[in-house]
A = this chain, B = another copy of it.
Amino acid sequence: MADLPAREALATEICGIPLDGPVLNGSGTFDVLAARQVFGDVLIDEFPFDCYVSKTITMNPRPGNPPYRLWETPSGMINSIGLPGPGLDGFVNRDLRLLASLEVPLIVSVMADCIEDFVVLVERVAAEDAVDGIELNVSCPNVHSGLIVGEQPAETEALLKALRPLTAKPLIVKLTPNVANPHEVAMGAEAGGADAVSMINTVKAAAIDPQTSRPWLGAGAGGLSGPAVRPIALAQVRAVSAAIEIPIIGMGGITDAESALEFILAGARVIAVGTENFRDPKAGTAVTEGLPAALARRGFGSLAEAQAVTLA
């Protein structure tokens, strides 16, 4: 076992954004504004991520889906949240003011159901100094539009071609896992000028009410996340990383440093913690703190050494 890499040996970057470490949050799995209200300023001082990804924002305010929105599954959960949010104006005028005070880089996730709205969202968000990158959610299984673009390599490429000229800031495409060949969509994103892909979003899933025998989720169906999907995510990260040059933000069931490192070895540049945040508000910190030992256990002296691994 090699010496424990120092905290500095975790430093890295994504799309040119320098990061103290490789741990992001999955979009929609950590609400900084709420958490700050609940935990206070310590949240900012001990911020658990090296880069913060906002919940997906949309043009207009959305209430989100009717309850129930959650269903627990073996080693995972289904959600059908439905992107509740204040809409673009609300986000820029209110939420963003507070997010700007974070000491880590900020990626804003956006979704729309037509290219025109995507254009508005990207232009407006990219114009904000506080924003370091934009994630395009073309994969949320809860909102019809996303599915279509994110399932089609050509649609994805066309979307990127339309958005690419609007900003020099990194554009990241969030891939859906619900396709036969995610690497083809990733290649479309790359061809269209994306700077990175993030993956996986949740996997289409359903549950039945134990009492009524009707669908449990208010929206009928939802998306599976958590450790249950980790093996699926790892396979997709590996397949995508073999097909594209741009970096991958890997996620799907990461619970600790060991599972985070598996994503790096499978081909992700950096990783994101999603559902595990619900079980442990400081899950991101736990991953970071465990990484030096996890790297050392496999004989790596730094994160960069693990990032350099290419699987057969």
Closest B residue to A205 by beta carbon equals B231
> A residues 206-229 with Cβ under 8 Å of B?
206-208, 210-211, 213-215, 220-221, 224, 226-229
Q: Is A179 an interface residue (CB 8 A)?
A: yes
Which residue of B151, B226, B235 contacts A221 across the interface (Cβ within 8 Å)?
Answer: B235
Give complex CA distance A71, B232 in Å. 13
Q: Which residues of B contact A265 (CB under 8 A)?
A: 208, 213
Stretch at the interface among A27-35, A60-68, A73-81: A73-81
Contact B180–A235 (Cβ < 8 Å): no
Which residue of B205, B229, B309 contacts A213 across the interface (Cβ within 8 Å)?
Answer: B309
Q: Is A284 an interface residue (CB 8 A)?
A: no
Q: Which residues of B contact A204 (CB under 8 A)?
A: 232, 235-236
- A5 nearest CB across to chain B (Å): 15
Which residue of B71, B203, B229, B238 contacts A206 across the interface (Cβ within 8 Å)?
Answer: B238
* B interface footprint on A227-249 (CB within 8 Å = 1, 0 otherwise): 11111101110100000000000
Q: Is A197 an interface residue (CB 8 A)?
A: no
Q: Which residues of B contact A38 (CB under 8 A)?
A: none
A: residues with CB less than 8 A from B are 71, 73-76, 78, 147, 151, 178-180, 203-208, 210-211, 213-215, 220-221, 224, 226-232, 234-236, 238, 253, 258, 262, 265-266, 298, 306, 309, 311-312
